[in-house]
Amino acid sequence: MSTKYFSLVLSWLLVGAIAVTPVMARTTPAAVTKQEAKIAKQKKRIVEWGTNKNVSVKLKSGGQVNGRIAEIKDENFTVQLVENGQVVNRDISYGDIQNISGKDESSGGWKTAGWIVVGAAAAVGTIFLIGLALAD
């Protein structure tokens, strides 16, 4: 009798192991593949920007690094920033990035100049319309 129960328990364990294995195999690689795809996308973006690009890097640890890309390597990249009046290099692994965005210093000036031109044109237009109304 005990051999019969032992065989039954063993067969249930084998069936359970076979049933669980494909589920584990499906979920783990998908999560890893998604993570690898995100890392590859961020790395590609950094390489396209190149060095001397001002960036803001939000880390998975919750920290944030603002500076310029000084060096790009296979496993990480270096951000150069100013801390306590000194230039500091900080190596950041691509896997540690939560989010990264480029800061374009030149666009801020162009946006301001654009709004000044729009404002001046509106003022000239208003004066012109007032002049036409008073001329009648």
CATH code of residue 29? 2.30.30.100
Q: Is the pLDDT of residue 6 over 70?
A: no
Whether 97 and 36 share a structural domain: yes
> Domain count of the chain?
2
**Residues 125-134: what's their mean pLDDT?**
80
Average model confidence (pLDDT) for the chain?
Answer: 80
Question: What are the CA-CA distances from residue 49 to residues 42, 45, 101, 104 (Å)?
Answer: 11, 6, 10, 11
Which of 85, 47, 86, 41 is closest to 69 using CA atoms? 47
pLDDT for 91: 95
Task: Give 66-114 pLDDT, tens digit per residue.
Answer: 999 999 999 999 999 998 999 999 999 999 999 999 887 555 556 677 7
Same domain for 32 and 85:
yes
86 and 126 part of one domain: no
Secondary element (H or E) of residue 56: strand 54-59
On whether both 6 and 36 belong to a single domain, the answer is yes
Percent of the chain at pLDDT > 90 equals: 41
Contact in structure between 46 and 77 (CB atoms under 8 Å): yes
Higher pLDDT, 20 or 77: 77
- What is the 3-class SS of 73-117, one letter each residue? CCCEEEEEEEECCEEEEEEEEHHHEEEEEEECHHHHHHHHHHHHH
Task: Look at residue 107 in the predicted model and tell me its pLDDT.
Answer: 52
Domain containing 130 equals 104-136
What is the pLDDT confidence band of residue 115, given thresholds at 50, 70 and 90? Answer: confident
Query: Which tokens hold the place of 37?
Result: 């795809």
- In this predicted model, what pLDDT tens digit does every residue of 44-53 receive, in sequence order? 999 999 999 9
